[in-house]
Amino acid sequence: MTYNVARSRSQKKPSTASRGVRSLGIAIAIPVALTVTNIMMFEESDTYDNLDRPFWIPPLWALHLSCVSSAFVMGLSAWLVWADSGFHRTPMAIVMYLAQLGLGLAWDWIFFKEGATQMGLGVSLGHVITIFSCSRMFGRINPIAGDLVKLSLVWALFLASVNLHFILED
C-alpha cells in the first residue's frame, strides 16, 4: 500500500509552478528568438555603420541588443497578462501584442535591409501606437505588465526618432 501512494505521487501532473515556469519560458523565448532570427537575416551592418550618425544614435550592436531586450520585456508582460487570464477577458490585447511584435520585426527589415526610411517611419509609428495600446490594455489587467510595457514604448519612441533623423538627413 505504501508503494501505491508513492507511485501515485510520482505520476501526478507537473505542479502549477513548473507549468508556470515552462509557459513563462515559452512566452519569452518566442519573441526573443524571432527578434534574433530577424536580426541575423536582415542585418545590413555595412550600410548602417558607414552612415554619419550623431553621438546619440547607438552603434548597430547596441541597437539590436536593445531590440532583443524589448522583445524579452514584451514577452514577460504578455505572460503576466496571460497568467491573469487577461487575454480571455480582453481578446484585443493579444491582437495588439501580436501586432506590435509583427511591426517590430517588419521595421528591422524595412529600415536595415530595404533602406526605406520613410516607410520605416510609418511602420515605426504604428509600432509605437500598438505598444501604447498594449500598455493601456495590459495595465488594466496587470499593473506590473502595463508598467513593463512602458520600457518598450520608450525604446520604440527612440527608434522612431532615429528613423526620423535619417529621413531629415536625406
Residue 148 domain flag: yes
Residue 12 domain flag: no
Higher local confidence (pLDDT), 16 or 133 = 133
- Residue 132, pLDDT score: 98
- Residue 97, pLDDT score: 97
Residue type, 107: W
Nearest residue to 159 (alpha-carbon basis) of 125, 119, 118, 109:
125
Residue 119 domain flag: yes
Number of domains in the chain: 1
Residue 10 domain flag: no
Which of the four pLDDT bands, split at 50, 70 and 90, describes residue 37? very high
- Residue 114, pLDDT score: 83
- Residue 46, pLDDT score: 62
Q: Is the pLDDT of residue 76 over 80?
A: yes
DSSP 8-state assignment for residue 50: T
- Residue 115, pLDDT score: 81
Average pLDDT, integer, range 101-118? 90
- Residue 18, pLDDT score: 66
Average pLDDT, integer, range 119-136? 97
Residue 111 domain flag: yes
- Residue 5, pLDDT score: 52
- Residue 64, pLDDT score: 92
Residue 13 domain flag: no
Burial of 10 (0-12, 13-18, 19+ CB in 10 A): exposed
- Residue 65, pLDDT score: 95
Domain of residue 116: give its range. Answer: 25-169
Residue 19 domain flag: no
Residue 9 domain flag: no
3-state secondary structure (DSSP) of residue 12: coil
Cβ proximity of 153 and 73 under 8 Å: no
Which of the four pLDDT bands, split at 50, 70 and 90, describes residue 96? very high
**Average per-residue pLDDT for the chain:** 88
